[in-house]
Structure 1
Amino acid sequence: MWHGKTIILLLVTLVVGFAGGFILRPVIAPMQQADTIAAGPPAALVTSEARGTQYFVAHIDEARQVVAGCRDGSVRGGECANADEAIIKVDAQERRKRFLDN
């Protein structure tokens, strides 16, 4: 007899809990979609992926600007290391070329 009452009590408790969760969901965690519609579309999406070392080897002037920004603190992230590595590679290639051409 107690086993049957326990199961019924458990089911009633679960139903009341789920119903309360669905009813209180807008209060607990309001939808974010309304905020984004009111704000409008974003002007420009910025990718968070860092440009690779090969890119900076091909664009060495930009790599030097990124490294200068990293020293100033205006640029952060993986691009600092990639740009610094590209500068080291290009400088090494230039030194090797000067040494072997003499």
Structure 2
Amino acid sequence: MARQVYGVTTMFSVGTIVIVLVTLLIGFAGGFILRPVIAPMQQADVDTFTSPVAPASSQARGTQYFMSHIDEARQVVAGCRDGTVRGGECANAEEAIIKVDAEERRRRFLGN
């Protein structure tokens, strides 16, 4: 049921608007209070709880590393084919080789 207020037709009564605003205010306040419980810890917070020991070398090197060290990437891929290298480095090294080769082909094609 529409109602005229100051010449403007409104669908909501003032009481409904007040209830909506109070509900939103309570929701925002609850969100800010419960955020530490709901949200995961930031990386900086996690680092403060871990020991200052360097990360283990067993972590796989990334694609960007292998793109910078393409000869090493080719050695890792050869080791993966032989079965001497296993893990995430195989996929990262192969992806780096594909990207570098594609970039070289693009440069040759465009004449850069």
TM-score (norm 1): 0.54
User: Structure 1 residue runs of 4+, over 2 Å off?
Assistant: none
The RMSD of aligned alpha carbons is: 1.7
Aligned pairs for 1:28-67 within 5 A: 47-67=57-77
TM-score (norm 2): 0.49
Cα distance, 1:47 vs. partner? 1.9
Which runs of no fewer than 5 residues in structure 1 stay unpaired? Answer: 1-45
Cα distance, 1:65 vs. partner? 0.1
Q: Report the number of matched residues.
A: 58
Q: Secondary structure at the match of 1:50?
A: coil
Q: Percent identity?
A: 82
Residues 1:84 and 2:94 are matched in the alignment: yes
Asked which structure has the greater RCO (Cα within 8 Å, sep 6+), the reply is 1
Cα distance, 1:48 vs. partner? 1.4
CA distance in 1, matches of 2:72, 2:57: 17
CA distance in 1, matches of 2:57, 2:74: 21
